[in-house]
Amino acid sequence: MVATPPPAVKAIFFSEFHYEAGPVLTYQAPENFLSKDVFDVVHVFIITKPQLYRKIITVNTVNLKILGCPQSIEDKKYKRNALLFNFGFVFDPDAKTTAFQPVIKKLSSCFRTLELESEFLSRDETRSRLPEILTAVLRELNDKGFCSIAVDEANTIHLKVIPDPTEMAVVCDHDVPIFCIDQAEIRSTPWDLTIKQILPYIDGFNHVLMIATLADVNVSLVQLCVQHLLHFGAIKLISVFQYSNMYMTTPKVSQLRDNRKLAAECLKFITKQGRPQPAIRDVFALYCALGPGVTVRDWCLRHEPQCLGISERLFIQFGLMKNLIVQLQKYPVLLSDEPNVKALKPYREMLTGKSSYDEICCHSGMSHQELDALIDSDPHLVVCWK
């Protein structure tokens, strides 16, 4: 299952009740996104009755969907004895906005607290920063799915769009996460403590179960962390590297020949440290030499990538990351009720043709060669490649 990216926020606004003019649209980013005519139609749902204070409000119009959380602070120091305000996110009308509900509630609550503590919204010198803050929130939520915005010297607002669990990618124990953006950017991001704990063990070779063991974290928590990193585009999932693996090219391999940026990225990634970069035509030929019946071990013996200064492990990693190649997986199928080989009996439920060698080896601790030997000795087991 592929994670569904969150919808783009089209605009963010701050609205309040003016003691003379009534409900007004004070600030918005980008400027003039919501017209006065549109606001006049929906303002009764933006600045609402007391029964809806601090509740999530969704307003659907023909062309827009608006998400807000109205607030009220009662105090005699305000005109009409109360400050009524609301922050709102604006989306396309068909956008799924469930993931943004806690975000708008937190944004609204943060400014409620700032007003109670320092009169941030009611003082002209501080409220004048709202356009800048709204613009930064809009940009970073759309670009990264999270933001950390300094409001003043003592306060920073941290917001993060948490995806709906039903729309998140499935992560298996045998999946191998690998960084697909700059690691320095990832490590400087304010992730939660569990994600920070597993980051040092994400190297493109450790599978999820191994990461859980090395980081001393429950495997279900590691899966959840990997799901979030996937959602924010920080990593991709590839298969476990084995010299017995087989791979075949996809049509995208032709991009190595046509896309200079991809070719340069490939050469930088796969070349061993201290060695000159090989010619891209040689790299292209090496990818094309992969195919059914050719294991990585056979490929290395036949083409000697090390002589070209190429790391075969990084070569395979890059191909999987960029979808230039796919792995041909082996799936054992049991043709009887029980396997003859005693060592395979605990894994009876995984011998149905739905579990790959990678998955079985991950759970059993066996190597591919050991699993091959056990399956070859059982006449009731066959192997399908797909």
197 and 320 assigned to the same domain: no
96 and 19 assigned to the same domain: yes
Q: Give the whole-angstrom CA distance, residue 290 versus residue 295.
A: 8
CA-based nearest residue to 195, from 169, 232, 166: 232
230 and 280 assigned to the same domain: no
Looking at 327, 356, 377, which one is the last position of a domain?
A: 327
* Structural domain of 290: 246-327
145 and 286 assigned to the same domain: no
Q: State pLDDT tens for residues 173-191.
A: 999 999 987 777 777 776 7
225 and 256 assigned to the same domain: no
28 and 156 assigned to the same domain: yes
Q: State pLDDT tens for residues 239-278.
A: 889 898 999 999 999 999 999 999 999 999 999 999 999 9
25 within 8 A of 39, measured Cβ to Cβ? yes
**What local confidence, expressed as pLDDT, does residue 2 receive?**
42
Q: State pLDDT tens for residues 65-78.
A: 999 999 999 999 98
273 and 143 assigned to the same domain: no
CA-based nearest residue to 192, from 162, 152, 237, 154: 162
349 within 8 A of 339, measured Cβ to Cβ? no
143 and 82 assigned to the same domain: yes
CA-based nearest residue to 209, from 177, 236, 161: 177
Looking at 286, 305, 327, which one is the last position of a domain?
A: 327
339 and 323 assigned to the same domain: no
The pairing of strands 65-68 and 82-91 is antiparallel
- 4 in a domain, yes or no? no
184 within 8 A of 219, measured Cβ to Cβ? no
Type of residue numbered 262 = L
What's 219's domain CATH number? 1.10.10
368 and 269 assigned to the same domain: no
Task: Tell me 129's DSSP state.
Answer: T
156 and 173 assigned to the same domain: no
CA-based nearest residue to 286, from 260, 264, 307, 258: 307
- 135 in a domain, yes or no? yes
Q: Write out the DSSP string of 35-61.
A: -HHHHHHHHHHHS--GGGTTS-EEEE-
148 and 88 assigned to the same domain: yes
Count of domains for the chain: 4
Q: State pLDDT tens for residues 336-363.
A: 888 888 888 888 899 999 999 888 988 8
62 within 8 A of 93, measured Cβ to Cβ? yes
Looking at 160, 181, 210, which one is the last position of a domain?
A: 160
Q: Give the whole-angstrom CA distance, residue 371 versus residue 377.
A: 10
